[in-house]
Amino acid sequence: MPGGRRIAAVTDVHFDVAPGECLALIGESGCGKSVLASALLGLLPANARSAGEAYLGDLDLVSADERTLSREVRGRLIGLVPQSPAAHLTPVRTVRSQTEETVAALTGVRGRAAVRDAARAAAERAAFPADHLDRHPHELSGGLAQRAATALALVGDAPLLLADEPTTGLDRDLVDRTVDELRRHVDNAAADAEAGDGSGRGLLMITHDLAAAERIADRVAVMYAGRIVELADARAFFGSPGPRHPYSRGLLQALPDRAFTPIPGMPPELGDLPGGCAFAPRCARASAACAALPPLTDGLACHHPVAGADAPLPEDARA
C-alpha cells in the first residue's frame, strides 16, 4: 500500500490443481504470479491482505493462522522451491546440515547414518553435487543454490509442490533434468495413488520459461496484470489450435523458435490499470467492447479471442 493506497496485486483468480497434475502459471514479470505463491503460504508482507479461499484438502490456506502454516503446511503439505533460494537458505549452515535437518523433521527416517543417506539421495534427485554438500550458501552459484532449494522442497513428499521459477540460473540440460524430476515427483505419486498407496501429488509451477512449461505441464494458466486470462490444456496451448487469448498467443510468438516478435508496449502498473481489459492498450484486436472487463468464462477472459492463425479482427479494432 504505497502512500496509503491499496493496490490489488492479484484479483479474481480461480483454478485448481488435481493430484497427479502439473499446472504451469506463466506471464510477464510483475503480473502477480509470485504474490499468489506467497499468499498460499502465508508469506506476504505484514501490510498485505488476502481474501478468498484456497483449499488444500479441508484446510483453507487463506484463513489459516501462522501456527498452522508453520507447523502443518510449509514443507509438510506444500513443498516450496523459492524464487530466491539464497534468501531461504540459512547462510551460516552448510547445505548438508540443512538437508539433514529437513529430512529429520519431515520424514520418518531416524538414525544419523540413515538421515545422512536420505539427505544425500535428496541432493542427487535435484542434481546437487555431493562434493558441495559441506559448502555454505554464499559459496554456491545461483544455479547450485537453486538446486539445493529444490532438494529441500522434495524431501517431505508434500501433496502440493509449489515451484516458483525453479529453473532460474540453470543451463538447458539442468533445466530439463530439474523439470523432469519435478514431473517424476508428481507421476510417481499418481502411480502410487492408483495402486492405493497414497493420494497423489500436484505441482504448481510458476515460470517464465515456456520451453520448461511445455515439457512438464498438463495445463497452462496465463496471468496478466493480476488476473488469469486463459486456462488451457497444455497440448492444445503449445500445439494446435494454440492459445485463444491475444496475450497468450503473443507470449508464444515472442519465442526465438517461433516468430520472435515481441508484444508491443509494456505491461501496466498494477496501481494504474486501465479500465476494462488491461491488455487492450497493447492488443491489435481491441475494440470498444474491451472497455468492459471480460470475465473468465470456459477458461478464457477475452471479448475477441483468436480462433485461429488467420482469425479476422473485429470491425472496430484499432489499426
* DSSP annotation string for 94-132: -HHHHHHHHHHHHSS--SHHHHHHHHHHHHHHTT--GGG
Question: What is the pLDDT, as a whole number, of residue 83?
Answer: 87
Question: What is the pLDDT, as a whole number, of residue 187?
Answer: 87
What architecture is domain 2-217?
3-Layer(aba) Sandwich (3.40)
Please report where in the chains the cell 496475450 appears, as a residue: 247
Please provide the size of the chain in residues. 319
The DSSP-derived string for 42-82 is T-S-TT----S--EETTEETTT--HHHIIIIIBTTTEEEE-
- Separation between Cα atoms, residue 259 and residue 170, nearest integer Å: 25
Q: Give the pLDDT confidence of 26-52 residue by residue, as tens digits.
A: 999 889 999 999 999 999 998 999 999
Q: Give the pLDDT confidence of 289-315 residue by residue, as tens digits.
A: 999 999 999 999 999 999 754 555 556
| Ranges of residues in the chain whose predicted pLDDT is under 50 | 1, 309, 319
Question: What is the pLDDT, as a whole number, of residue 214?
Answer: 96
Please state the domain extents for the chain: 2-217, 244-319
Question: What is the pLDDT, as a whole number, of residue 113?
Answer: 97
